[in-house]
Chain A
Amino acid sequence: MPVGIVRRDAATTEFFDGTARGELLIRSCACGAFAAPQARTCPACGCELTAWAAAAGTGTVETWSIVHNRKLPPVTVAIVRLDEGPWMQTQLVGDLPDDLRDLRVRVAFEQPQGGEAVPVFGAAG
């Protein structure tokens, strides 16, 4: 299933500027920790997060669900633990094995007309 349309707001401007360039931005803290893009406070040291860093774009499936809808084909969604540590709620695309436990995945971007580029993950080659 293609991703839906999402529009930026003040909190997501830098993030979607990143996805438009093909970069997955996450938060980075002076203490060396990384955090999810929507995080405001460093989970390691409690500092306010202001800086961004480009994630490598690789990670591991932490949990997943195949969502069924009577009008649309099923969609596979997941929480991916990025190699830097933060979690991403995302959609899995492409050919996927039956058992997604601990699957290694890599980011790609899909941009529907009229919306921002959305990160999705496929099985890492």
Chain B
Amino acid sequence: MNAVIAGLGITEMGKVYGRTAPEFAADAVRLAVDDAGLALADVDGLLTNTGITGDVGLGLQRDLGLRDLRLLSEVQAYGSSAGAMVQYAAMAVMSGMASVVACVFADAPLKEPGAGAGAAYAGLTTTGWRGLAAASGIYSANTMYALAARRHMRTYGTTSEQLGHIAVAQRAWAALNPLAQMRDPITLADHQSSRWIAEPFHLLDCCLVSNGGVAVIVTTADRAADLNQPPVRILGWAQTHPGNDEQLGLVSGAAISGPAALKMAGATIADIDVAELYDCYTFTALLSLEDYGFCAKGEGGPFAASGALGPGGSLAVNTGGGQLSSYYMWGMTPLSEAVVQARGQGGDRQAPRNDLVLVSGNGGLLDHHSTLILSAR
């Protein structure tokens, strides 16, 4: 018996002010339930993942008026959480522990117009070991990922221009996505001339910051058979949490979670039609391409520069524009676009083949990884 994704809810997204993260979360669940053709009262499981503002949690049950839930928990594995929630939900419905599980992420880090984008992501810890790194100037994800990316560059010769090709390709996809926040096309020259954030990252190597929420509904294939949407089967899944500082910037958890999830699905990487890769930075997408085996280790730069990744390229990657150009909802960004693509509802950005869709989630400093293999066929 397969578990499936039967509903998808995406709230208004981006610079949307005056609403809290729990409000976005509740809206996203309602939208996902409606999308599936279910009622809120059908939901008997709820998994929540809070973003940086940290206030989406168990209280969401009462916000939604849900009674007698058979599964309720907060999940936290940062950017890999969305994939992880779907995995736990799948196991819950397959075991019969619950029948309809809503998985939701929401965040509202942008507080008011004029506030620095990402300001909520730069909190300083001034005590102990983390305080020591912060006092040394290392306190933001930008800097940590920049250190990782530089290590890849010095090891494999990867260049800023090659990273730029990922930003350009994803913006070209975003131009076709009405949900995307950033739809104006960019060139490689735009990427190279955008201001430095933390070298080797320019501004256009870095994800957006968004307010909003995304939810999916996981249920059994039997239950989904007469619902509104084409059921998206969850064919394979895996997590990897490397815990290995020595591989910083050279190998991510995708190297293990990818093959494990593909094996469960009875597929190989060559079977993947669409890849929705976690892209907090251009570099994260590049490293994931290598670790999943879409190209050889160290060849991510030339692969990106070959033009393979944009609309009309040889591999449909981050077809909604990803977190670089569409919206920053942690692992829900690749997952939501994967559901759209698997259903064939991508409109102008629909990939030509969509039999098998891979979703990656990445959290921490490449510390946590999840993979899902999805199909509506």
Q: Are B151 and A62 neighbours in the complex by a CB distance under 8 Å?
A: yes
Q: How many A-B residue pairs have CB under 8 A?
A: 95
Q: Are A7 and B131 neighbours in the complex by a CB distance under 8 Å?
A: yes
Check A6/B143 contact, CB under 8 A, given A63-B148, A67-B198, A68-B198: no
| Interface members, chain B 123-174 (any A CB < 8 Å) | 124, 126-129, 131-138, 140, 142-143, 146-148, 150-151, 154
Which of chain B's residues have a CB closer than 8 A to the CB of A9? 127-128, 131
A79 close to B (CB within 8 Å) = yes
Q: How large is the interface on A (under 10, 10 to 19, 20 to 34, 35 or more residues)?
A: 20 to 34
Which of chain B's residues have a CB closer than 8 A to the CB of A3? 135-137
Would you give the shortest CB distance from A75 to chain B, in whole angstroms?
Answer: 4
A51 close to B (CB within 8 Å) = no
Most chain B beta-carbon contacts within 10 A, residue among A4, A5, A74, A115: A4
Provide the bound-state CA to CA distance between A37 and B124, in Å: 20
* Nearest 9 CB-CB pairings of A with B: A65-B146, A4-B135, A6-B135, A63-B151, A6-B131, A9-B128, A38-B129, A66-B199, A68-B196
Which of chain B's residues have a CB closer than 8 A to the CB of A67? 137, 140, 142-143, 146, 197-199
A34 close to B (CB within 8 Å) = no
For B, the interface residue count at a CB cutoff of 8 angstroms equals 31
Provide the bound-state CA to CA distance between A6 and B126, in Å: 5
Provide the bound-state CA to CA distance between A9 and B196, in Å: 34
Would you give the shortest CB distance from A116 to chain B, in whole angstroms?
Answer: 8
- Which A positions have Cβ atoms within 8 angstroms of B? 1, 3-9, 11-12, 37-38, 62-68, 74-75, 77-79, 87, 89-91, 101, 115, 118, 120
Most chain A beta-carbon contacts within 10 A, residue among B124, B132, B135, B249: B132
Q: Are A66 and B126 neighbours in the complex by a CB distance under 8 Å?
A: no
B68 close to A (CB within 8 Å) = no
Known: A63-B154, A68-B199. 16 other contacts (CB 8 A): A4-B124, A5-B126, A6-B127, A7-B127, A9-B128, A12-B129, A62-B151, A63-B147, A65-B147, A65-B200, A66-B199, A74-B196, A77-B137, A77-B147, A89-B136, A91-B136
Provide the bound-state CA to CA distance between A37 and B130, in Å: 12
Would you give the shortest CB distance from B172 to chain A, in whole angstroms?
Answer: 27
Would you give the shortest CB distance from B89 to chain A, in whole angstroms?
Answer: 33
Q: Are B138 and A89 neighbours in the complex by a CB distance under 8 Å?
A: yes
Which of A64, A66, A79, A115 interacts with B135 by CB under 8 Å? A115
Q: Are A77 and B151 neighbours in the complex by a CB distance under 8 Å?
A: no
Provide the bound-state CA to CA distance between A7 and B138, in Å: 16
Provide the bound-state CA to CA distance between A79 and B148, in Å: 10
Provide the bound-state CA to CA distance between A78 and B147, in Å: 7
Provide the bound-state CA to CA distance between A63 and B127, in Å: 25
Check A64/B147 contact, CB under 8 A, given A4-B124, A9-B127: yes
